[in-house]
Structure 1
Amino acid sequence: MTKKNIENFLDPKYLEEILGSFSKATGLHIEAVNRKGETLAILGNKYRSDFCQYIRSNSKGEKRCLNSYREATIEAAKWNEPYFFRCHAGIVIWAVPIIVDNVFLGSIICGQVLLWKPDEFFLKQLKKINSNLDFQTLKEKVSSVSMSSPEQSQAAADMLFVVVNHLVKRNLHTLEEEHAYHLQRLQIKADLENRKKKNITEFTDYGTYLKNERRFLSYIRLGDKTRAESTLKNLLTDLLTKTAGDKATIKIRILELASLSSRAAVEGGADAEQVMLKLQDFNNEINSIERIEEFFFKVHKIIEEFLNGIFKLADKKHLSLVNNARKFIMENYHKPLTLKATADHLFISPSHLSRLFRLELDCTFNDYLTRVRVEKAVELMKKPEFSVEQVSKAIGFKSQSYFAEVFRKYIGVTPLVYKNSLF
């Protein structure tokens, strides 16, 4: 990756906040470098030691330091652990690699310390390697370099390795979210383009939006994830079109939609406490968001969590059985469907299926079947050509009076009153 890539990956503000604090706490010098050894940022202590500044005061010393950083960075990446080395000037430094998805980006350089006081041999080597610099000045400046025991240096390196890995995981998560936001933008654009190609009439009123919203909420109550997600996509495109991209209005509608969805999820069998906690976190998160695609991504995410919460099944076999039972009911609700017929279709006993519905959906088989039929009745009664009697028969009720009784129990009014309110 290029210098630009690593700079985009590392969040400068967060890098300074975390590694700057590490530098101040330990008194150690820290730099972020790319894989060429080039310094991107000096963190915490804003300046290199007087000794290092003097070593780098000419192009020859600068080049040697760059080569030291590059070689150390490559070695650290090779072993994927802190790499200790003595630079050409004789001080101890270590490099902690930055590796993302097996791609080597650079490293965090730390240290610039001595493990022991400069002796005669050290000074002779220092003079020999840096013959172009004033030796007396070198002696004075090297005496100001911090001392650190091998144990202290190793502990600092281990701690820095943990911190750098935390930064990598955090920034990787941020990049993944950015990628998701980008896909969301592309999805919105594609939806709008498809509407233009199909000459679909532009969404113009909230009446239509609210009808689609009610349909969407019914899918959540039924745990119909596929239809819920498909309808949500259309709802969000409608919302974008209607509001002409006004962020304030979109934010209000998104908060409403999340709140309504949470209630529908609880009605569908999700745990109320967990749903409310998720909703609270969502509301707090939304308040700090500015981009439309983030609004849409976040609401997609929480609604997916709500839907997943309807089926908290530890056993995958049970999950498959319940989902297959739901699918069978959705396809055959208009028939005189029974628990036994559904169990036979799944090749399990009626008692076992009944137990699964109670344990996993917190309702009986008949409760769920009735819920599906009522939701379908609501959809059908929006069509003027269907009478209440026709709707009753279409959804599997033999008795219109019993249908009216059940409908009132779930919706709060009789089918006739509900239908008359629509037209």
Structure 2
Amino acid sequence: MTTKNIETFLDPQYLEEILGSFSKATGLHIEAVNRKGETLAILGNKERNDFCQYVRSNLKSEKKCLASYKEAILEASKWNEPYFFRCHAGMIIWAVPIIFNNVFLGSIICGQVLLWKPDEFFLRELKKSNSKYLDVKTLEQKVKALPISSPEQSQAAADMLFVVVNHLVKRNIHTLEEETAYHQKRLQIKTDLENRKKHHTNAEFIDYGKYLKKERRFLSYIRLGDKTRAENCLKDLLTDLLTKTAGERTTLKVRVLELASLSSRAAVEGGADPERAMAILKDFNTEIDNIERVEEFFVKVHKVISTFLEGIFNLADKKHLSLVTNARNFIIENYYKPLTLKATADYLFISPSHLSRLFRIELDCTFNDYLTRVRVEKAVELLKKPEYSVAQVSKAIGFKNQSYFAEIFRKYIGVTPLIYKNSLF
């Protein structure tokens, strides 16, 4: 955000919706003011009371109101909490500061009440400070209609308003972060498309068959919890979709929803909690329904797939993250070898028992379970190639015994390798 001010920071419609409701619920007058104390908006359609309107009807008196506001909001900003003050006309008002990244933007002003019924001392002070500009009798008449709020009620209202304003600030920070993400994604999309134009022809991406092959590889990475490769593949898939659909929103939305749905199932197969995965997918489907911009589609689907991947390997102890990640990558790169727990542990310079414990505690599976999962995923890829026989695939992924390979493949996929291969051709 280049211009740090309250006008560009707060969403006027949402401000009115939330603080307008607060005003209606409490019956209190609320204003949004900038750093100079100038009123930007009166919220909740509750105008200033007759007393304040009369005080502000005189230009010099109104300047005093502005000076009171400015002094109060500066004090509120120093302490970052509600600040109570008495304006030059005797009204009790409180200011709640709006602070973003340690920058003071303005305040929400609330109150315009009295804490007690006006007595002789109050009227004497009122006359003393305003008789030069305003008719005292009119002031005394209007002050009788002012609302009375006890100190407890006023403090409770100020505390509640502080919570509401903090919610508004956090919401706008989130909105700004999303807008930054959308901007970065927009630049990335532009760069990807320009690179494709330099190195490829559009005809290369018209065939959905090629897209579906990439999609299967992508889902395989998800099942294995290979976040880096999954994210790189996702980037390529989304650029393919944008090229194929020419940015047409309806078709793009269908494909993105389809990709998210397939990803949720792959995540469950990889070990993510099914109930949580389906709940995340449901929220995603609702969230994406009214999206208009292409970059929003891409940011949202990237976010939800990252969540699925986190669900597969939800590491409880962050200090083990590097070890588990390195072990997983070592298996993915060496699955075709006669890989053992000891060989992997030696590569990581840790004991086999420690590595075994990490797999069980952090990944909720054994070393051999994960190795087998990787081998079966690679077998599925190879069986789709006509030039590979079942025996060749078995050997290529590290199985010495073809019968054992068939047994393991059937356990994971549901059919034998031969039946699976024959169903493809």
Q: Shift of the alpha carbon at 1:16? A: 2.1
Cross-structure match for 1:216: 218
Contact (CA 8 Å) 1:30, 1:45: kept in 2 or not? no
Query: In 2, Cα distance between the equivalents of 1:124 and 1:8?
Result: 43
Query: In 2, Cα distance between the equivalents of 1:90 and 1:256?
Result: 64
**Change in 2 beyond 3 A, CA 1:263/1:69:** same
Cross-structure match for 1:277: 279
Cross-structure match for 1:105: 105
* 223-232 vs 89-98, greater mean Cα deviation: 89-98
Query: In 2, Cα distance between the equivalents of 1:310 and 1:2?
Result: 39
- Determine which of 374, 395, 399 is the counterpart of 2:397: 395
Q: Shift of the alpha carbon at 1:422? A: 5.7
TM-score between both structures, scaled by the size of structure 2: 0.91
2:100 maps to 1:120: no
Cross-structure match for 1:60: 60
* 156-165 vs 343-352, greater mean Cα deviation: 343-352
2:15 maps to 1:30: no
Counterpart AA for 2:200? N
Cross-structure match for 1:133: 134
Query: In 2, Cα distance between the equivalents of 1:100 and 1:409?
Result: 55
In structure 2, stretches of 5+ residues that fail to align are none
SS in structure 1 at match of 2:94: strand
Contact (CA 8 Å) 2:58, 2:133: kept in 1 or not? no
2:212 maps to 1:205: no
Cross-structure match for 1:301: 303
Q: Shift of the alpha carbon at 1:349? A: 4.1
Q: Shift of the alpha carbon at 1:354? A: 3.5
**Change in 2 beyond 3 A, CA 1:313/1:412:** same
In structure 1, stretches of 5+ residues that fail to align are none
Query: In 2, Cα distance between the equivalents of 1:323 and 1:177?
Result: 28
* 383-392 vs 157-166, greater mean Cα deviation: 383-392
Query: In 2, Cα distance between the equivalents of 1:148 and 1:418?
Result: 78
- Determine which of 265, 268, 271 is the counterpart of 2:267: 265
Q: Shift of the alpha carbon at 1:109? A: 0.5
Counterpart AA for 1:93? I
Q: Shift of the alpha carbon at 1:329? A: 0.9
Q: Shift of the alpha carbon at 1:352? A: 4.2
Which 4+ runs in 1 deviate beyond 6 A?
Answer: 1-4
Query: In 1, Cα distance between the equivalents of 2:145 and 2:3?
Result: 33
Supply the RMSD in Å over aligned alpha carbons.
Answer: 2.5
Q: Shift of the alpha carbon at 1:404? A: 4.8
* 209-218 vs 156-165, greater mean Cα deviation: 156-165
Q: Shift of the alpha carbon at 1:374? A: 2.6
**Change in 2 beyond 3 A, CA 1:170/1:254:** same
Query: In 1, Cα distance between the equivalents of 2:42 and 2:370?
Result: 62
Contact (CA 8 Å) 1:73, 1:96: kept in 2 or not? yes
What pairs with 1:254-403 in structure 2 (closer than 5 Å)? Answer: 254-381=256-383, 389-400=391-402, 402-403=404-405
Query: In 1, Cα distance between the equivalents of 2:297 and 2:422?
Result: 37
TM-score between both structures, scaled by the size of structure 1: 0.91
Counterpart AA for 2:152? E
- What percentage of aligned pairs have identical amino acids? 81
Contact (CA 8 Å) 2:28, 2:111: kept in 1 or not? yes
Query: In 2, Cα distance between the equivalents of 1:127 and 1:354?
Result: 84
Q: Shift of the alpha carbon at 1:162? A: 1.7
Query: In 1, Cα distance between the equivalents of 2:327 and 2:279?
Result: 30
Contact (CA 8 Å) 1:73, 1:107: kept in 2 or not? yes
Query: In 2, Cα distance between the equivalents of 1:368 and 1:148?
Result: 67
